[in-house]
Chains A and B, each alone.
Chain A
Amino acid sequence: MGEAGEMMAGTTRRWLLKGALATSCALLGLVGSAARFGARAAADAVHWMEDAFKQKSEADAVKALYGKTAEASDKVKLEAPEIAENGAVVPISVTSALPKTTSIAILVLENPFTLAAAYTIADGTLPAVSNRLKMAKTSKVVALVEADGKLFSATKEVKVTVGGCGG
């Protein structure tokens, strides 16, 4: 083989590479779009609790969410800063030590709408969640945990120096 042979080999290799790339891209595209479609239907199929998210008081939100009242429990751990410098991003974590925890919800009592987030804990999923919420002003934050059909709560006040609702 001489130079020409090497060139040929180089060209072939490039072709192979190009072909392989194109094929894998096409495959990825197909897999991606199929998965996309299926997953989209999945999230779409979940019924969003519109009524609960509309409520403007703790009592109404709890009633719309669970239809029962909560009992304070030290088995519900609510982690939130004492003082939030930026109300637009307040890190909040909730952990439940109660067996058979099926859902966790977080209320910010002084926000325009009380309910901020609600999580469904599947069997086999650990009863803990961390997220970031907006707070309009200093407010009590309430963590609700449904476990074994009963409702429990923990409350903490978070002082907000700059509100998260801007404007």
Chain B
Amino acid sequence: MASTIRVRAVAGGDTTEVQSLIQHPMDSGFVKDAKGELIPPHYIKVVLFEHAGKTVFTAQWGPAVSKDPYLKFSFKGGQKGDDLTVSWVDNAGKSDSLVAKIM
């Protein structure tokens, strides 16, 4: 199965720029479906980025984050070819993770 996570990490100078896109409905719990019934809340709560055994960035999200969430940040260090691990957990207990190579 294809991963829900797409990540692009590029090392340049002394920092690595990370952009990620996660496929997720991010249902807020306030939207009604075609039958007029509320779609229950379903959203990612935590996204973690790890490099060289260290957490470099943690996102905590509520239902106000857009569908298929996008994130961009940068961290110092990170060499071309290094692993960057991305993982998420949602309010339904579902999760996914991906190990990406820094470019």
A contact residues vs B (CB 8 Å cutoff): 31-32, 35-36, 38-40, 42-44, 46, 48-49, 53, 88-90, 93, 108, 111-113, 115-122, 124-126, 128-136, 164-167
Given the complex of chains A and B, what is the CA–CA distance between A164 and B28 in angstroms? 10
Prevailing SS type, chain B contact patch: strand
Q: Report whether A88 and B48 are in contact in the complex, using a CB–CB cutoff of 8 Å.
A: no
Asked whether, in the complex, the Cβ of B73 is within 8 Å of the Cβ of A129, the reply is yes
Whether B48 and A46, one on each chain, are in contact in the complex, defined by CB atoms closer than 8 angstroms, is yes
Assess whether B10 is interfacial by the CB under 8 Å rule.
no
Can you list the 9 inter-chain pairs with the closest CB atoms, starting with the nearest? A39-B97, A39-B87, A116-B64, A43-B87, A130-B72, A120-B58, A132-B66, A125-B75, A53-B62
A120 to B49, alpha carbons, bound, how many Å? 11
B66 & A89 in contact (Cβ 8 Å cutoff): yes
Asked if residues A42 and B30 are in contact (CB atoms below 8 Å), the reply is: no
Residues of A within 8 A of B26 (CB): 134
Contact indicator A113/B75 (Cβ below 8 Å): no
Chain A residues closer than 8 Å to B87, beta-carbon distance: 39-40, 42-43
For chain B, which range describes its interface: under 10, 10 to 19, 20 to 34, or 35 or more residues? Answer: 35 or more
Contact with A along B61-95 (1 / 0, CB 8 A): 11111110111111111000000011111000001
- Residues in B whose Cβ lies below 8 Å from that of A121: 57
Partner of B57 from A119, A133, A164, A166 at Cβ < 8 Å: A119
Report if A39-B86 is in contact (Cβ < 8 Å); known contacts: A122-B54, A132-B66, A134-B64. yes
Are A113 and B95 within 8 A (Cβ)?
no
The 5 listed contacts between A and B (C-beta, < 8 Å) are A43-B46, A117-B61, A119-B59, A125-B73, A165-B28
> Is the beta-carbon distance between B71 and A131 smaller than 8 angstroms?
yes
A118 to B58, CA, bound (A): 8
Report yes or no: B66 in contact with A130, Cβ–Cβ below 8 A. Answer: no
Contact of B46 among A48, A90, A136 (CB under 8 A): A48
Given A113-B62, A117-B62, A134-B65: A122 touches B73 (CB 8 Å cut-off): no
Partner of B89, one of A43, A113, A120: A43
**A-chain residues with CB within 8 Å of residue B31 when the two chains form the complex:** 165-167
Looking at the complex, which one of A31, A32, A115, A130 makes contact with B70 (CB distance below 8 Å)?
A130
Interface flags for B9-33 (1: CB within 8 Å of A; 0: not) read: 0000001000000000010101110
